Amino acid sequence: MIIQRRTLLGGFAGSATASVVGRARAAATPQKGGTLNVSAFSDVTSFDPATGRSGDDHLVLYTIYDTLIDYDFDTLRAVPNLASAWSFPDPKTLVLQLRQGVQFHDGTPFDGAAVKFNLDRIRQLPRSTIRADVGSLDTVEVISPNEVHLHLKQPDTALPLILSDRAGMMVSPTAAQHYGDNFDRHPVGTGAMRFVEWRDGERSVVARNEKYWKPNRPYLDGINFVVLPELQIGLRSLLTSENDFIYALDPLQLAVVKRSSKLVAVVSTSLLCQLLYFNLSTPPLNDVRVRQAINYAIDRDAFGKATGGLYSVADMLLPAQHWAYDKALVGRYKHDPDQARQLLAAAGHADGVDLAWFTYDDQAWQQRAEVLIEQLKAVNIRVHLTSASNPEVTSQFFQQKQGNVNLSSWSGRPDPSLTYSLMFGSDSFFNPGHGVTPGLDEAIAATRVSSDLGARAAAFAKVQQMVLDNALFAPLIFQPQIVAHATKVKGYRPTLLGKPRFDDVFLSA
C-alpha cells in the first residue's frame, strides 16, 4: 500500500488516493507500548546538538531534545514548543515566554537560566558546529524563570525557526556541566525519550520519558535506531521483520515495498531539491546567458520521469506547500531549446560550450547525470563528467573550486533565509566561486527584518526573483521523502522538512 498525503500530493506524478490515509487513520486508535526498530542509514555524529555534524542526526535528537520552537509539519511555520509564545517588541529583541513545569530527564528544571546556559554554550563551546546559526545573537537576558529576552546585533526574524533546529535543542545544564566534553555520551534533554545506549556505528537506543510534559505522549516504550548504511540492506531488514521503519528510500525501491503485504509506503514532499550548483566566477559560467541557457535546456519533467517517476518540478528552492513559495516564479525556465541556443550564441558560444561537471559515483546520480547530459547535448552543451565519492566531490568543487557544475542536492533548512544565505551568500562555502550578485546579500538580510510572515514572504519573493533572473543555479526536481514501515506502525506523519519524526507514532497490536 502506498500513501501520499493529501496536502502534499501536489505535483507528484503517481496515483495514490488520499482517502487511503483517512481510512488508515480512522482505523487506528493510539495505544501505548512496544519498541520501534528503525533502520537508519547513518549513525549519529554526536548526541550533543552543539557538536553534531550531520542533518541526519535529527532523527534521533528530536526524540531526546525538545526545541524552544517547533515547526508545523505541513508548512514549516513556527509553532510553540518549550517556548509557549514569542514576540519581537523591537526588531533587535526576541522575547520568549517559556513553558512552566517542564523538567529535564535528570530532574533539572527547564527555565530561563537553562535557556541562557544553552544559548551561551553553543557560542562558547570550542567544538561547537552551530555558532554561525546564532551569529545574530548578542546577549541573553533572563527576566524571570519563564521569560528570556534575546538581544540581537541586527534584526533577525529567522531566529524563531533557527531555534526549531539544533540551536534550539535544550540540553540539561546540570548534565552538560557535569560531563563536559563527554556530554554527547550522556545526553540529557526534556524530550519524549531519554537516552539509553549508543554503540558507535551499530545502534542507538532511547526509552520513554515517563515525566514527559506533553499529555499522553510518547506512545512508544522505546526506539532502537539500527545503523544500516545501505538502503537496500535496510529495506531487506524490514522484509525479514528485523526492523519496522525506514526512510530516504529511492523511488525505484518502491516496487519492493509494493510487492510486500507487510509494508506500507508513505511518500511526501520534502525540501530535498536536486539541482545544479554553478561556479559563478570562472568562464563560461561567469556569463549569466550561459547559465540561463542551461536552465532553458533542461526538461525537468522528462528528467523526473526518467529518474524514478516520483517528483515535483522545482521552479525554485521551495516546494509549493511552503509559506514563502512564490507562484509568480513558476515556469520561469520552461524547457526551450531554441532560447537556450540563442542565449549561447549571444554569449559567443554559437558552436556550443564545454563544461566540467561533478557528480557522485553511485548508480542513481550516474543515471541523473546521463539524462541531463543528453538533454544538454541537444543545445550543443558538452558535458565532461567526473564521478567521485561525496567527500571528493565536496573537496574538489567547493573547496578547491575546480569544475563548472556540480550535480547534487540541497536538503533545505527550517528557515529559508538560511538556505539562501548558505547557497548564494557572497562568502558562502556553497558558492564556490564566491560570485557576487549585486544587491543579493542585502536582499537576503532583508528577509530577516520583519516578523510578519506576509512581509517576509514578499522579501523572499525578491530574493528568489534575483536568484532565478541571474540563474545562480539550476533547480531540477524535489525528491520526495519515501518512508516504508511495517503495517503495525501507525500514526506516522511526514514533515515538509523531510526529517522523520516519531511524535505520534504507535504500534498496533
Partner 1 sequence: MTVQGWINPLGRRLAEVIPVILLATFLVFGLQQLVPGDLAVTLAGENATPQRVQEIRDFYGLNQPLIVQYAHWLANAAHGDLSRSLLSGVPVSRSIAEKLPNTLLIVVGALVMAMAAGIPLGVAAARWRGSLADAAVSVLSSLGVAMPNFWLAMILVSIFAIGLQWLPSTGSTPFIQAPLDSLRHAVLPALALAVAGAGEVARQVRSALGEVLQSQFVRTLRAKGLKPASILWKHGVRNISVTLLTVLGLLFNRMLAATVVVEAVFAIPGIGTLVVQAALAKDFPVVQGVVLVMVLLVIATNLIVDLFCALLDPRVIRT
Q: Which is nearer to partner 1, 46 or 406 (CB)?
A: 46
- Other Cβ atoms closer than 10 A to 44: 23
Q: Which is nearer to partner 1, 200 or 210 (CB)?
A: 200
Q: How far is the CB of 18 from partner 1 (least distance, A)?
A: 32
Q: What are phi and psi of 470, to 5 degrees?
A: -90, 0
Length in residues, the chain: 509
Q: How far is the CB of 241 from partner 1 (least distance, A)?
A: 8
Q: Which is nearer to partner 1, 37 or 67 (CB)?
A: 37
CA distance 86 to 171: 20
- CA 292 vs CA 347, 373, 398: distances in Å: 11, 16, 21
Q: Which is nearer to partner 1, 53 or 377 (CB)?
A: 53
Q: Which is nearer to partner 1, 13 or 388 (CB)?
A: 388
3-state secondary structure of 268: strand
3-state secondary structure of 140: strand
Asked whether 281 and 434 are in contact (CB, 8 A), the reply is: yes
Q: Which is nearer to partner 1, 243 or 274 (CB)?
A: 243
Q: Which of 361, 269, 305 is nearest to 75 (CA)?
A: 269
Q: How far is the CB of 23 from partner 1 (least distance, A)?
A: 29
Q: Which is nearer to partner 1, 77 or 236 (CB)?
A: 236
CA dihedral 274, 275, 279, 283 (to 10 degrees): 140
Buried b vs exposed e over 416-428: b needs ≥16 C-beta within 10 Å?
bbbbbbbbbbbee
Q: How far is the CB of 82 from partner 1 (least distance, A)?
A: 23
**Which cell goes with 390?**
561525496
Query: Which one-letter DSSP state was computed for residue 307?
Result: T
Q: How far is the CB of 354 from partner 1 (least distance, A)?
A: 23
Q: How far is the CB of 360 from partner 1 (least distance, A)?
A: 13
Q: Where are the beta strands (DSSP E) in 279-395?
A: 312-313, 353-360, 381-388
Asked whether 463 and 443 are in contact (CB, 8 A), the reply is: yes
Amino acid identity at 487: T
3-state secondary structure of 437: coil
CA distance 135 to 421: 13
Q: Which is nearer to partner 1, 181 or 469 (CB)?
A: 181
Q: How far is the CB of 67 from partner 1 (least distance, A)?
A: 18
Asked whether 311 and 480 are in contact (CB, 8 A), the reply is: yes
Q: Which is nearer to partner 1, 380 or 396 (CB)?
A: 396
Q: Which is nearer to partner 1, 238 or 376 (CB)?
A: 238
Q: Which of 478, 451, 467 is nearest to 288 (CA)?
A: 467
Residue whose C-alpha cell is 532583508? 446
Give counts: helices (H), strands (E), the chain. Answer: 15, 22
Q: Which is nearer to partner 1, 9 or 239 (CB)?
A: 239
- CA 157 vs CA 29, 84, 301, 442, 463: distances in Å: 39, 17, 36, 15, 16
Q: How far is the CB of 135 from partner 1 (least distance, A)?
A: 8
Q: How far is the CB of 176 from partner 1 (least distance, A)?
A: 15
Q: Return residues touching partner 1 (CB under 8 A).
A: 45-46, 53, 126-133, 181-182, 184-185, 199-202, 226-230, 233-234, 236-237, 239-242, 388-389, 391-392, 394-396, 399, 418, 422, 427, 429
Q: How far is the CB of 8 from partner 1 (least distance, A)?
A: 27
Q: How far is the CB of 480 from partner 1 (least distance, A)?
A: 23
Q: How far is the CB of 85 from partner 1 (least distance, A)?
A: 28
Q: What are phi and psi of 445, to 5 degrees?
A: -60, -35
Q: Which is nearer to partner 1, 321 or 396 (CB)?
A: 396
Asked whether 75 and 321 are in contact (CB, 8 A), the reply is: yes
CA distance 115 to 81: 13
Amino acid identity at 336: D
